Each structure stands twice: as structure tokens, then as C-alpha cells.
């Protein structure tokens, strides 16, 4: 059995904490000594400069020292008690002011000795003031030295003061920092110029200068990234050891490409040809493919998937495509059927809404291999669906599926099927390296010729009438429009209510003479399908919708997208919604109606107006919202970063990835003695792997 780490000790046993303070630290998620040590300061206050009070300037944060005089506590008409004292050092004086802090009165009302204080200087009614300063009475020079230093400022929550966290952090550092084994091998530290763990923990919390704090933090961020990258590299190495299906693509390369040219009604882009080539190379290898294809809206991912599926079928295997919604599954089915029917390849649809008889027929076609291609939703992973020779699994919008659903589909394979994951959600490079580091990644970074970029406008709410007038003009020349209702909450029920209210307003008050439809997630599947079909056929002029149209809806005649209260949506979601227009030959528009009062909201609207590049938008979104917000808490998994930052630390992440791959290439199971600490770090990320390591 692996001995528990001393850092797993309950936080109450750390010096300076105890059973009364521990629950307060628990509000910050600090329950062990490890939590405390890795709860890093978000910034530092440099209190080392002690200018004479006469040299203090308004607006500056300074440390001042002097003798206390003229303490006063007065009650205002509203009942607030204001405490104040004058601090004088002989060159000048400054008034220190506190609000409703009775302990200040108890400590200072009869105190006339020396005090040291830190805060921002402001101009009061008659002289310089410092509101709510941090302070310490000076009994000896050790007190002054302890106060006038670089002080950590920690992330807090209500009811937990800075002093408490600082005291607890100091107790943890003094008890553990110098006795902890360093998980990073000495040769790795030398190669990357990294300081030992103990030094870093001490100096990241209590540096003697700000340069030390940066060096310490960077090493801890590298260590955090390294554990994640080691886990991903080990998973990748395991996949490469698995026995999979080797598709004989080289032997049929010419006839296969000739069939692809006949199958597709357009010329492939250079990016599509490159990605298809990467997929074919994977499919030929004897181990299972595990590849992610990232492509912006309209980059042609479905065509790439169709080529891979054709290669699987012509090799004698079946292929399955799984989509997150019935609307998207039906669209894929229609597109693939149109491509494969002329080649004599049967495509079967498997979704929940089919009748019992239709489901049984579909299952029989798939089970007996009469249908080499199946398209469906999670219905594909149900127990009563079986495949004869499933060789390729294509998963669209993979982030919407749970790990168990993906595993269940894979287990239906012939041996160990190849897996191709597609996403139209552009993912920043650092996020891809962290979320999908165990996969090979291909990027479709070229749009097909003829695709006109969507023109995006940002309008304030008071200009809504002119936006609707523009929509009417486009409808009058034969185009169609989407109007997306506000994201009032995460509740589908509340979103549906908002959509119904917006639909009522538009159909009765704004466009009473036009055909206005409604689509939201609370509608019955049959009603949703009927509404979308009417919109596709041009029987509706305007479709009011929630974000159910975010993925997969393809109506080439729709050329304008109006997004109400666009400031409520994330950047990547706005980009996905915008991707529903511009799919035909007509010039298309996206209009963001937003009262963007905050700096973040303004930056999001400006990014949408300035660029159609989904990957650029994803980078901005990552910087503004962070990884957990983008991928969602349920999928964030290894993204619970305590130290590292995917935006600021991209260079450290790449170094950690390179180091991890090198280590795993030499020692796939981290079995060498010098990798014991790394084994433990990886085990904390992956409990299942930890159990294997311990056994």
C-alpha cells in the first residue's frame, strides 16, 4: 500500500488554524494542508518601501510609520461608528479611518505608541487620509520587519479575512515546505532550470522580492501541467499498444479516391485533403485511431467523415456516426444518404422517435451488415443495438456526450474500432493540449471557396426597430431569418417561456403579416421536426428559437441571424449561432442586440464584429471566461487547475507536454524509482490509475 502523503492531513492540524478556524477555510475549499499550500496569492502588496509621510502622494499604495495620536470614535446619524487616528512621523501626518470596526477602538483608544499602516492615500476634507488600512502596532523592530515586507493577497470568500489565510499559509509553509519530497526528478529540474519544491512553496507565499514569487509560481505551474500531460501521454501510449483494425487503404488508394471524387459534388479544399490523408494513415495502422478533427463552422467536416466512412465500408467494415440531437442526426442521415445512395451503400437512421417496427428493421439491417452505415443519437449505444463488423465510430460534437456513452459505442466494435471525433466548436490550442492530449488532432483551417463571411453588427437595444426593419427588407426579397431569444437562465423551461413570449410579440406586434415560427427544447420531437422542416421548405419567413439551433441546422436561404440580449451569451456560443447563416450564396448578416455595459461584454461584442475566425474567438473566450466555463463543469475534469493558467502559461504547457512525452517514452508506467513522485501526482488525477500503480 502507498503511504498517505503528509499533505493530506486535515487543515485544522496546521499551526495557526485549529478546529474553530478550519470551517472558515473550508468555505474556500481548503480542507487539507495540500489545499493550503497550493492556494496561491492572486497578487502581492509591496510594503517594503517606507517613505516619510510628507512624501506620500494621493492615489499611491504606501506603507507609513509613525506615532498614534488623536484617536476618535464617533457615531453618525445612520448609526455607523467611524474610528479615526492621526499617524505622525515628524515630517507630516496622515489620518487613518475605519468604519464599524469596534476592535480598532479596543486596541487604539488608549494607545500612543508607534504603528505601521498600509493602504491607499486619498485626499480627505482637510488632509491626507487612508481608509480601512491594514496596520500593526510596533512593540519592537521585529514587528515592523514582519509587516513591512511583500505581503501575499489571497483569493477570499465572504467571512474569511486575509489575515486568517496568511496565518494558516505560514503555518503550512513552516511545517511542510522544507520536508516534502520533490516529485520532479533532479535531472528534470536541472534541464528546465527549476527550483526545488520546498523553496518554491516558501517563496510563492512569502517572497523577499517579486522576482522570486514569479520563479516559484512558474515551477509550480509547470509541475501541475506535467502531471496532466503525463496522464494523457500514458493514455496515448496505451492506445498505441492496443490491437486494432488495419484498413487496407494503400491497396485501394486509386479506386478509393476516384470514388470519393464521384461521391462529392464539389472539389475538396487543401485542408480537407490533408486531414483525410492523416485519417487514412491512422486507419492503416494496426492500433486504433483516436483522432479529433476540429473545424470551424462550414469547413466541411461532414465530407471528411464521409470519406473515412467510405474507406471503412470498402475495406469490408461498418461505420457508425453518433450525433447529440435528433435534428443533427437526421441532417447527417440526409446528407450521407445523398452521398452514398449513388454508390450503392445503404445508410440506416437510428433515433428514438422511430416506431417499434422501424426500429426493429433498422436493428436487423445493422446487425446483419445489410446496412454498412448507421447514423443516430445515443440510441446507437442501447443494449439491443448490435453491429456485425463495426470498424469506425464517428462522434460529432463529442463534448456533448458522456465518457460512458462513447465507451459503450466503442465496445460494440469489431475488435477495437477506430474513433474519429468531430467538433465545430473551435478549441484554443492550450485547451486542446489539455483536454485532448491523448488524441491526435487535425485542424480544418480553410473554408470552401464561395463561402462569403457573415457581416456582423452590434446594435444597442434602442435601435431594435431599425434591426427588425432590416429583417423585413431581407424577407421581402425572399430570404429567411432567425431570431434567437435571450438566455434568461440555464433552465430549458425558462428559455422556452422567453421564446414563447418573444414569438408572441414578433408575430402579433412586429411582423403580423409574415409567417413566424417557434422552436425550443421543451417542444415535442415531432413538433420540433415539423417546424424545422417548414422553415427548410420556405414555409416560414422567421424562426424564433432558443439555442437548440446552435448546432447542425442548415438552411441555405436563411441569411440573417438576430440575437437578442447577445451580452448574455458566451463568445463561442455566439459564433456557433452565427454559423447558422452564410450557408448559401446570399450575403448574410448577424445582428447582436446588446446593452453591453461591462468591459467584458463590450470586448465580446467587438470580437464578434471584428472577426469570423472561430479559433481567434475561442482564444478570446478562454481569456475572458476561463477553461471551466468553456467546457462546462461536468467535462472540465483535469482542468481544475490550482496554479497554472491556460492563457498566460502556454509556454510552460508546451514544455510540460514535451517533458511528459519524453518521460513516458522512456518509462511508460513511471516505474523507475526517480519517477515515484510523478507516479503519485498522476495517481491523484486518475484514481483508477492510482489503484493499478498501488497494486
Sorted by where each begins, the domain ranges of the chain are: 1-45+149-238+682-695, 49-148, 250-444, 455-625
State the virtual CA torsion across 410, 414, 416, 420 in degrees, nearest 10.
-60
Q: How far apart are CA 301 and CA 271, in angstroms?
A: 10
Is there a contact between 30 and 154 (Cβ–Cβ < 8 Å)?
no
Write down the pLDDT at residue 172.
92
pTM score: 0.69
pLDDT tens, position by position, 54-103: 998 999 888 899 999 889 888 888 888 899 999 999 999 999 999 988 88
Residue 488's SS3 state is coil
Residue 694 has pLDDT above 50, yes or no: no
Residue 626 has pLDDT above 90, yes or no: no
Q: How far apart are CA 493 and CA 331, in angstroms?
A: 25
Rg of the chain over all Cα atoms, to the nearest angstrom: 31
- In sequence order, the 6+-apart residues with CB closer than 8 A to the CB of 319 are 308, 309, 312, 313, 372, 373, 374, 390, 391, 392, 393, 394
Classify 49-148 by CATH class: mainly beta
Give the other-Cβ count within 10 Å of 173's Cβ. 22
Residue 400 has pLDDT above 50, yes or no: no
- In sequence order, the 6+-apart residues with CB closer than 8 A to the CB of 558 are 479, 480, 481, 482, 535, 543, 580, 581, 583, 584, 588
Write down the pLDDT at residue 483.
95
The count of C-alpha atoms lying within 13 angstroms of the C-alpha of 126, restricted to the half-sphere facing its C-beta, is: 4
pLDDT tens, position by position, 568-621: 888 888 988 898 888 878 899 999 999 888 888 898 899 999 998 887 888 888
- pLDDT tier at 692 (50, 70, 90 boundaries)? very low
- pLDDT tier at 690 (50, 70, 90 boundaries)? very low
Residue 689 has pLDDT above 60, yes or no: no
Of residues 354 and 516, more confidence is placed in: 516
Write down the pLDDT at residue 93.
92
Write down the pLDDT at residue 491.
67
Percent of the chain with pLDDT over 70: 90
Q: Is the dihedral of CA 359, 361, 362, 368 positive or negative?
A: positive
Mean pLDDT of 396-416: 60
> Where is average pLDDT lowest: 51-65, 121-135, 310-324, 377-391?
377-391
Give the H or E element holding residue 88. Answer: strand 81-88
Mean pLDDT of 536-563: 86
Write down the pLDDT at residue 693.
41
- pLDDT tier at 687 (50, 70, 90 boundaries)? low
- In sequence order, the 6+-apart residues with CB closer than 8 A to the CB of 47 are 63, 118, 147, 148, 149, 150, 151
Residue 189 has pLDDT above 90, yes or no: yes
Burial class of residue 79 (count of CB atoms within 10 Å of its CB; 0-12, 13-18, 19+)? exposed
Write down the pLDDT at residue 370.
92
Write down the pLDDT at residue 633.
35
- pLDDT tier at 426 (50, 70, 90 boundaries)? low
Most confident of 181-195, 392-406, 416-430: 181-195
pLDDT tens, position by position, 469-526: 999 999 999 999 999 988 766 667 777 788 899 999 999 999 999 999 999 878 887 8
Angle at which helix 571-578 crosses helix 614-625, to 10 degrees, equals 150
Angle at which helix 197-205 crosses helix 210-241, to 10 degrees, equals 130
Mean pLDDT, the chain, integer: 85
Write down the pLDDT at residue 373.
95
Write down the pLDDT at residue 342.
93
Give the other-Cβ count within 10 Å of 520's Cβ. 24
Q: How far apart are CA 310 and CA 299, in angstroms?
A: 19
Of residues 625 and 281, more confidence is placed in: 281
Phi and psi of 116, rounded to 5°?
Answer: -125, 135
> Where is average pLDDT lowest: 223-227, 234-238, 311-315, 592-596?
234-238
Is there a contact between 395 and 421 (Cβ–Cβ < 8 Å)?
yes
Of residues 5 and 660, more confidence is placed in: 660
Mean pLDDT of 542-571: 85
Write down the pLDDT at residue 695.
35
Q: Which fold has domain 250-444?
A: Rossmann fold (3.40.50)
- CA 643 to chain CA mean position, Å: 16
Write down the pLDDT at residue 413.
62
Residue 249 has pLDDT above 50, yes or no: yes
Cell for 675?
A: 519517477
- In sequence order, the 6+-apart residues with CB closer than 8 A to the CB of 390 are 317, 318, 319, 320, 412, 413, 414, 417
Give the H or E element holding residue 429. Answer: helix 429-435
DSSP 91-132: S-EEEEEEES-HHHHHHHTT--SEEEEEEEEEE-SSSEEEES
Q: How far apart are CA 18 and CA 6, in angstroms?
A: 17
Residue 331 has pLDDT above 70, yes or no: yes
Residue 401 has pLDDT above 60, yes or no: no
Residue 112 has pLDDT above 70, yes or no: yes
Where does 455-625 sit in CATH, by number? 3.40.50.300
Q: How far apart are CA 317 and CA 322, in angstroms?
A: 17
Residue 631 has pLDDT above 60, yes or no: no
Q: How far apart are CA 391 and CA 412, in angstroms?
A: 10
CA angle (359 as vertex; 353, 360 as ends), nearest 5: 160
CATH topology identical between 250-444 and 455-625? yes
Write down the pLDDT at residue 443.
87
Write down the pLDDT at residue 239.
75
According to DSSP H, which parts of 586-666 are helical? Answer: 599-610, 614-625, 627-631, 633-636, 650-666
Amino acid at each position: 500500500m502507498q503511504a498517505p502523503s503528509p499533505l493530506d492531513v486535515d487543515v485544522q492540524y496546521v499551526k495557526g488554524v485549529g478546529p474553530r478556524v478550519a470551517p472558515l477555510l473550508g468555505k474556500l475549499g481548503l480542507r487539507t494542508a495540500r489545499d493550503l499550500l497550493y492556494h496561491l496569492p492572486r497578487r502581492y502588496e509591496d510594503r517594503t518601501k517606507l517613505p516619510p509621510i510628507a512624501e506620500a502622494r494621493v492615489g499611491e499604495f504606501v506603507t507609513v510609520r509613525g506615532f498614534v495620536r488623536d484617536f476618535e470614535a464617533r457615531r453618525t446619524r445612520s448609526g455607523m461608528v467611524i474610528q479615526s487616528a492621526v499617524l505622525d512621523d515628524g515630517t507630516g501626518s496622515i489620518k487613518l479611518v475605519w468604519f464599524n470596526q469596534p476592535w480598532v477602538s479596543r486596541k487604539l483608544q488608549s494607545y500612543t505608541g508607534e504603528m505601521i499602516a498600509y493602504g491607499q492615500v486619498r485626499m480627505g476634507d482637510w488632509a491626507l487620509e487612508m481608509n480601512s488600512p491594514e496596520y500593526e502596532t510596533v512593540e519592537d523592530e521585529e514587528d515592523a520587519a514582519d509587516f513591512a515586507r511583500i505581503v501575499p493577497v489571497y483569493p477570499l470568500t465572504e467571512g474569511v479575512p486575509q489575515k486568517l489565510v496568511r496565518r494558516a499559509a505560514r503555518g503550512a509553509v513552516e511545517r511542510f515546505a522544507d520536508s516534502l519530497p520533490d516529485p520532479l526528478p533532479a535531472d528534470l529540474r536541472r534541464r528546465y532550470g527549476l527550483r526545488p519544491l520546498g523553496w518554491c512553496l516558501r517563496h510563492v507565499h512569502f517572497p523577499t522580492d517579486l522576482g522570486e514569487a514569479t520563479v516559484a509560481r512558474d515551477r509550480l505551474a509547470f509541475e501541475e501541467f506535467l502531471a496532466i500531460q503525463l496522464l494523457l501521454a500514458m493514455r496515448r501510449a496505451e492506445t498505441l499498444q492496443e490491437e486494432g483494425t488495419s484498413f487496407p487503404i494503400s491497396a485501394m488508394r486509386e479506386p478509393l479516391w476516384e470514388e470519393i471524387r464521384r461521391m462529392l459534388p464539389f472539389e475538396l479544399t487543401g485542408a480537407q485533403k490533408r486531414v483525410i490523408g492523416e485519417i487514412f494513415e491512422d486507419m492503416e495502422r494496426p492500433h486504433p485511431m483516436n483522432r479529433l478533427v476540429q473545424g470551424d463552422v462550414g469547413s466541411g467536416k461532414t465530407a471528411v467523415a464521409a470519406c473515412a466512412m467510405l474507406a471503412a465500408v470498402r475495406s469490408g467494415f461498418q461505420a457508425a456516426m453518433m450525433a447529440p440531437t435528433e435534428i443533427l442526426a437526421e441532417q447527417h442521415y440526409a446528407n450521407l444518404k445523398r452521398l452514398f445512395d449513388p454508390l450503392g451503400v445503404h445508410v440506416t437512421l437510428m433515433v428514438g422517435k422511430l416506431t417499434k417496427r422501424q426500429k426493429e428493421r433498422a436493428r436487423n439491417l445493422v446487425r446483419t451488415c445489410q446496412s454498412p452505415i448507421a447514423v443516430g443519437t445515443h440510441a446507437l449505444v442501447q443494449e439491443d443495438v448490435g453491429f456485425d463488423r463495426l470498424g469506425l465510430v464517428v462522434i460529432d460534437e463529442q463534448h456533448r456526450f458522456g465518457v460512458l456513452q462513447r465507451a459503450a459505442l466503442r465496445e460494440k466494435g469489431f475488435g477495437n474500432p477506430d474513433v474519429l471525433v468531430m467538433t465545430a466548436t473551435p478549441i484554443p490550442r492550450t485547451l486542446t493540449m489539455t483536454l485532448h492530449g491523448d488524441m491526435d488532432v487535425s485542424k480544418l483551417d480553410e473554408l470552401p471557396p464561395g463561402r462569403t463571411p457573415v457581416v456582423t453588427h452590434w446594435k444597442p437595444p434602442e435601435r431594435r426597430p431599425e434591426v427588425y426593419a432590416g429583417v423585413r427588407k431581407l424577407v421581402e426579397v425572399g430570404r429567411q431569418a432567425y431570431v434567437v431569444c435571450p438566455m434568461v437562465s440555464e433552465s430549458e423551461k425558462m428559455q422556452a417561456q422567453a421564446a414563447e413570449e418573444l414569438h408572441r410579440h414578433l408575430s402579433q406586434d412586429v411582423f403580423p403579416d409574415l409567417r413566424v415560427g417557434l422552436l425550443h427544447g421543451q417542444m415535442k420531437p415531432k413538433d420540433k421536426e415539423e417546424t424545422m422542416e417548414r422553415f427548410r421548405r420556405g414555409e416560414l419567413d422567421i424562426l424564433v428559437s432558443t439555442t437548440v439551433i446552435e448546432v447542425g441546422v442548415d438552411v441555405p436561404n436563411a441569411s440573417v441571424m438576430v440575437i437578442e440580449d447577445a451580452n448574455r451569451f458566451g463568445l463561442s456560443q455566439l459564433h456557433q449561432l452565427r454559423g447558422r447563416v452564410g450557408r448559401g450564396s446570399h450575403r448574410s448578416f448577424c445582428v447582436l442586440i446588446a446593452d453591453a455595459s461591462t468591459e467584458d461584454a463590450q470586448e465580446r461584442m467587438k470580437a464578434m464584429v471584428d472577426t469570423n475566425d472561430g479559433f481567434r474567438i475561442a482564444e478570446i473566450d478562454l481569456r475572458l471566461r476561463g477553461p471551466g466555463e468553456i467546457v462546462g463543469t461536468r467535462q472540465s475534469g483535469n482542468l481544475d487547475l490550482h496554479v497554472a493558467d491556460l492563457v498566460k502559461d502556454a509556454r510552460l504547457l508546451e514544455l510540460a507536454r514535451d517533458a511528459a512525452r519524453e518521460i513516458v517514452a522512456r518509462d511508460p508506467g513511471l516505474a523507475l524509482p526517480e519517477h515515484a513522485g510523478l507516479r503519485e501526482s498522476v495517481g491523484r488525477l486518475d484514481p483508477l490509475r492510482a489503484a493499478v500503480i498501488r497494486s
